[in-house]
Structure 1
Amino acid sequence: MVNIKNYTFRASLLIGLMLFLFSCSSYNEMITPYYKQVASGNYTAAMKELEKNKLLQKPRNKLLFLLEKGKTTHLMGDYENSNRYFNEADQLLENGLGGTMDAVVGTLLNPMNQVYKGEDFEKFMIHYYKALNYVYLAKPEDAIVEARRIGLQSQEQGDKFNNKDNRYAKDAFSLMLQGLIYEYDGDMNNAFIAYRNAAEVYLSSKDQTYYGTPMPETLKQDVLRTAAAMGFTAELNRFEELFHLKYTPEKAPEGGELVFFWENGLAPVKAQEEFFFSLVKGEDGNLFFTNVGGTIIIPFGDGYGSGENFNVNAIQSLRATYPKYVSRPPFFSTATLTDGKTIFGFQQAEDINELAYKTLQQRFLKEMTKLLTRLAVKKSAEYVLKESSKGTGKNGKDNTLLEGLGFGVQLYSLLSEKADTRNWQSLPATISYARIPLQKGKNTISLNLKASNGTEETKTIEVMGTGRLQFFNYSTLR
């Protein structure tokens, strides 16, 4: 009997340790070879790493696979294929991801085994790259379609949260991009509406800052300029007062303007964080989870009612895993542009680092409630098995197997818990932009980059001034 018990214990422990070793690796660690190649600018090698990565080949990670391929082919200048991947990703999102069985997988295993559905800000960034791809492919009509889809997604996102609790309901950068695309197409009326909507997002906060990004001065000028161009005097006066600016008309540059986007660094990666909770019954009979210090109070999940019939004795402690973002400081800290006569500074348009941290924090309570309730239900099942094994021996029956099963379930539950550490990690940490006036014909524009250690680099491009608005984006991925 003792030998059987020892064997069962060792077998359970071995299985548990195997699960533990597998679960230690984060998503970032499992696809490090790909990200190393991306950060080094070796995009062809990066594509090969993507193709042979078994984790990204799994159906549950198809969205991430398409997003990474779309971004990498964009960096390679293969804009046609880039949009092919992004369009497929878009289609996945429109058709809906997950389902009943996917939810069951998340309950029995962990969120890492569910279909990846994307962060809200990642969905907006798809439009950014698709719109630029269409512009570079000389397909303005498709770029306009993408601009309109930004508006539709902003509306859906607003409906999702109903603009409560200062949640991420609209993306100011995407609305600003929408305005730029409309202006690129010569549609000043819709450009004004988009610029105004972007400005309203900033104005809705007390300090005119949205997720770590102050309202760009260029955006203010774009609102005033397009309002004046459309003859919207009342709107012009209103925004002059709100911005504390007086609009002064200026002659449009003969060669048009260049909108230069600087994508700096890489988005933060997700790691795993651990929390320990107990299930407690309150004076009103309802159950809630609390951590050791009592600083976090989380109600028992609504899906199981108030928990009146739930066995609190089964839940002595719970180990919960939750993702946390870890930023990757960019190599370059500042940058300027020059046309040989004038130096132009950049203005931040999007802080993906800040967006990632804040949006994850905003959904902590909701997701931790679901997670802890799921863990409590699993813990209760373990308790039932253990209690059953205690009473099995009365008729002389061997309870070793049931004991071992109970221990195995306990060990599995403990070690299989894993936070979902997946995210679109080749996104930039920040996006800044500048509008540069162009002269007719050839223009030489230099990007001067400076790192905190004093290292400097210069990138030079040539732009033909055509009288229209043009775009260029440049990534520094270190």
Structure 2
Amino acid sequence: MTRKILAVVAACVFMLGIGCTTSYDKMIKKSEESFYFGKYKDAAKSLLPEVNKEGKDQLLFMMECGLMLHAAGDYPNSNKVLLAASALSERIAKSISKEALSLFLNDTVTNYRGEDFEVVLVHMYLGINFLMLKDADSARVEFKKVNDLLAEIQVLSGRAYKQNLMAKYLTAIAFELIGDKDNDKNDQEFAYIEYKQIVQLDPRLALVYRDLQRMAKKIDYMDDYAQYQAQYGKQDEMPEDAGELIMIYESGQGAIKASRGSLLSDKAMADGIRISLNGLTLQQGVTAAAVLASLKLAENPIPKFQKRSNKVSFLMINVDGKDIARTYMLENIEDTALKNMEDDYTKMYFKVAAGVVTKAVAAIVAGLVAKKAAEQLKKTSGVAGLIGTVVGAGVGAGLMANIKPDLRCWHTLPANLQLGRLFLKEGKYTIKIRFLDDAGNEVIGAKEGDIEIKKGAKTFFNYRTLF
């Protein structure tokens, strides 16, 4: 009998241990602080031990480190890490049913599989890296994976994902690069098709009007060219023998996961718990009041995404004292994160509530069994009171430790991705980047730099703000 009681105590201590595991937030804190102070390489270096070590958070450490190296302009090493992250994410189980179950268990002890949008963005960053490395073929492959993955996720999860405009735009640019290099009309036509699809997805995107006219004229689709001129006005004027500057802008700090607070403070969750309780046949000694009391201090196990700082709405690109072009937001990462999580919450809170009730009932039953065993031991030993105290504390603490949200997520993502394009005559220029809010006011002082534009070539400039 003593062994049985000690086994119950050990189980309760194990539940306590689960609650005390080091959180990802604590492990990433110093590296994240270095990153947001602009010390990209130092931040990445500090994560390498975790990147190279198998563990439940390895995928997250890879994604963080890969993006830090990307921000540092170390595109080859960023690709090494992100390609490994892509391979790892494919190996981790992605069952939707398992995901639903994990929302009411302590998922922090399982392998992090990545939110859908995070897995997609691994390929986005790989594609951008390849563009910066002048490898348009590999970039095109990665950007195609972005929209292929979105289509696959839509089928599996039922989410109404739209195609990723940033990926489609960069796919078109990659096709242009290959088509111009090889003088291949087929690749140029593929680029044109991408631009046509972009304007169908977002007819108000002014950025694409010039590209539609420019590519229609290049591949001699003169009827289309005339149609676009009539529709948008003449947009394709550019200097003779021009080259192009393509600005990729990553703005602000992405949303991160946060707790929704008390489990019973959320009306939908509280109603779900009460409905689940009403549908249960409770064992002797277990009451609805006892279950609700045991959940009084528990956290809602489904997290929310919370926006962080993102002060810049767009960049204005000034060349030799003249505002020439601006960036346009093509991928709103923070809004995608928030919407996906809220959609999941609406679909899953009732299942989660039922699971929480089952877990609470099991914990109360375990406590009753332990209490009964302790009373039995009292007849032969004087330690029953001590054991009862330990078991009671263990069950309560273990329950609270396990009913909590998994707050792991990719902390170094930007709030959104933007793109700007401008055509300039061949030559050297001083460009000034102005950081503007929605009202057109400058958020901080402009940054200046020198660039060289070559005839017929595309020059990429990648910029990240952290505020």
Could you state the TM-score of these two structures normalised by the residue count of structure 2?
0.78
- Letter in structure 1 aligned against 2:316: T
Aligned pairs for 1:146-295 (under 5 A) are 146-162=142-158, 167-186=160-179, 187-202=187-202, 215-227=204-216, 229-230=218-219, 245-246=232-233, 249-250=236-237, 254-277=241-264, 290-291=268-269
Q: 1:52 to 1:396 in 2, by over 3 A?
A: closer
Map Cα deviations across residues 150-183 of structure 1 (whole Å, 9 max, x no partner): 3422332332345x6xx33532322222222222
Shift of 1:342: 3.1
Which whole-Å CA distance do the structure 2 matches of 1:395 and 1:345 have between them?
A: 78
Residue identity opposite 1:150 in structure 2: V
Q: Pick closer, same or farther for the CA change 1:240–1:316 going to 2, 3 Å.
A: farther
Residue type of the partner of 1:133? N
1:438 alignment partner, SS class: strand
Of 422, 429, 432, which residue of structure 2 is paired with 1:446?
A: 432
Write 1 or 2 for the structure with the bigger share of helix.
Answer: 2
Structure 2 residue identity aligned to 1:421: L
Structure with more of its chain in strand, by fraction: 1
- The answer as to 2:433 corresponding to 1:464 is no
Question: What's the CA shift for 1:272?
Answer: 1.5
Q: Give the secondary structure class of the aligned counterpart of 2:249.
A: strand
Aligned residue identity for 2:91: N
Assess, with a 3 A threshold, how the Cα gap between structure 1 residues 403 and 109 changes in structure 2: closer, same or farther: farther
Aligned to 1:43: 40
8 Å CA contact retained: 1:66, 1:89: yes
Q: Which residue, out of 132, 135, 145, partners 1:136?
A: 132
Closer, same or farther: CA 234–422 of 1 in aligned 2, 3 Å: farther
In 1, the alpha carbon distance for the partners of 2:111 and 2:81 equals 18
Query: C-alpha distance in 2, partners of 1:248/1:16?
Result: 65
Provide the identity percentage.
24
In 2, Cα distance between the equivalents of 1:403 and 1:237?
Answer: 84
Aligned to 1:340: 320
Shift of 1:90: 1.1
Equivalent residue, structure 1, for 2:184: none
CA-to-partner distance for each residue in 1:59-84, whole Å, 9 max, x for gaps? 11111111112112222222111111
Aligned residues: 438
Matches within 5 A, 1:328-367: 328-330=308-310, 332=312, 335-340=315-320, 342-343=322-323, 344-367=325-348
- Residues 1:419 and 1:384: Cα distance change in structure 2 (over 3 Å): same
Aligned in 2, Cα 1:446/1:372: closer, same or farther, shift over 3 Å?
same
* Cα pair distance change 1:78/1:390, threshold 3 Å: closer
Structure 2 unpaired stretches of 5+: 1-8, 180-186
| Structure 2 SS opposite 1:31 | helix
**Could you give the per-residue CA deviations for residues 78-113 of structure 1, whole angstroms, max 9, x where no partner exists?**
21111111111111123344689x879948951222
Equivalent-residue separation in structure 2 for 1:260 and 1:198 (angstroms): 18
Equivalents in 1 of 2:116, 2:227: separation in Å? 32
- Residue 316 of structure 2 corresponds to residue 316 of structure 1: no
For residue 207 of structure 1, what is the aligned residue in structure 2? none
Change (3 A) 1:48 1:232: same
TM-score (normalizing by structure 1): 0.76
Structure 2 Cα separation of the partners of residues 392 and 12 of structure 1: 15
Q: State whether residues 137 and 174 of structure 2, in contact with CA within 8 Å, keep that contact through their aligned partners in structure 1.
A: no
**Match for residue 431 of structure 1 among 400, 406, 417:** 417
